Amino acid sequence: QVKELVLDNCRSDDGKICGLSSDFENLEFLSMININLLSVSNLPKLNKLRKLELSDNRISGGLEVLAERTPNLTHLNLSGNKIKDINTLEPLKKLPNLHSLDLFNCEVTMLINYRESVFTLLPQLTYLDGFDADDQEAPDSDPEADGDGLEDEYENGEDDLDEEVIDDEEDEDDDLEGEEEEDGVDDEEEDEEEDGEDDEEDEADDDLPRGEKRKRNLEDEGEEDPEDEEDDEDD
């Protein structure tokens, strides 16, 4: 029932695949990166295999085996191998579903018109070395591998934090408004108390006889009563 098998950095037996049999008939993904492979001749029949990683080995040919034993292959990575000629890739024409081929760091990539030649030889290809015929980059088929899921969680976390910050700011604004209202009430009460004191003073003045009231007012203003001045002159 195994669908994915990763054998990266395991050493092959004399440059050939060993230990892999047709018992793995349900394999959809197989990775054999940097295992010192010289040939894929021992690859078993894997009808369900979709993606095959063979980068950083020493494969120089024999790709007809892939066409025979992995007929439904869609992605093939041969980067870092010893492929030198465009003709070496011709057996891949028999893989009708092959949409993506990687040949990074292979000598064949140094040939003049390399990309045009490969797309012409393999018309079923959509992407060569991660780009299509119009140099548009291939989309990532595995978002979780690049941590996109983590970014979404982080963004969601940021949204939550923003909401909390907004709530805190609203609470602070409410508190400030409450304090301002209280201050306004206190100021009004103080004004009312001052007005009350002035009114009491005015009422007290009204109760005094007219002469006493006038005398009091003059004393407040720092002036002398004319009657007192006449008394002084008589003396």
Render each residue's pLDDT in the chain as its tens digit; 235 residues.
789 999 998 877 778 888 788 888 899 999 999 999 999 999 999 999 999 999 999 999 999 999 999 999 999 999 999 999 999 999 999 999 999 999 999 999 999 999 999 999 999 999 999 999 999 998 875 433 344 444 444 445 555 545 554 555 555 555 555 555 555 545 555 555 555 555 555 554 555 445 455 545 545 555 444 454 444 444 4
SS3 sequence of the chain: CCCEEECCCCCCECCECCCCCHHHCCCCEEECCCCCCCCCCCCCCCCCCCEEECCCCCCCCCCHHHHHHCCCCCEEECCCCCCCCHHHHHHHHHCCCCCEEECCCCHHHHCCCHHHHHHHHCCCCCEECCECCCCCECCCCCHHHHCHHHHHHHHHHHHHHHHHHHHHHHHHHHHHHHHHHHHHHHHHHHHHHHHHHHHHHHHHHHHCCHHHHHHHHHHHHCCCCHHHHHHHHHC
Burial of 209 from C-beta contacts in 10 A (0-12 / 13-18 / 19+):
exposed
pLDDT of amino acid 148: 43
Instruction: Give the model's pLDDT for residue 145.
Output: 38
* Tally of residues, the chain: 235
Give the per-residue pLDDT at 163: 52
User: Which pLDDT score, from 0 to 100, does residue 193 have?
Assistant: 53
The pLDDT assigned to 197 comes to: 54
Model confidence pTM above 0.75: no
Cβ-contact 12, 18 below 8 angstroms: yes
Q: Where are the domains of the chain?
A: 4-128
pLDDT score recorded for residue 92: 97
Confidence at residue 28, expressed as pLDDT on a 0 to 100 scale: 96
- The answer to whether the CB of 12 falls within 8 A of the CB of 34 is no
Q: Tell me, what amino acid is at 56?
A: D
Question: Half-sphere exposure (CA, 13 Å, Cβ side) for 138?
Answer: 18
CB-CB neighbours of 10 under 10 Å: 13
- Tell me what pLDDT residue 16 has: 82
pLDDT score, position 110:
95
* Domain at 4-128, CATH from 3.40.50.300, 3.40.640.10, 3.50.50.60, 3.80.10.10: 3.80.10.10
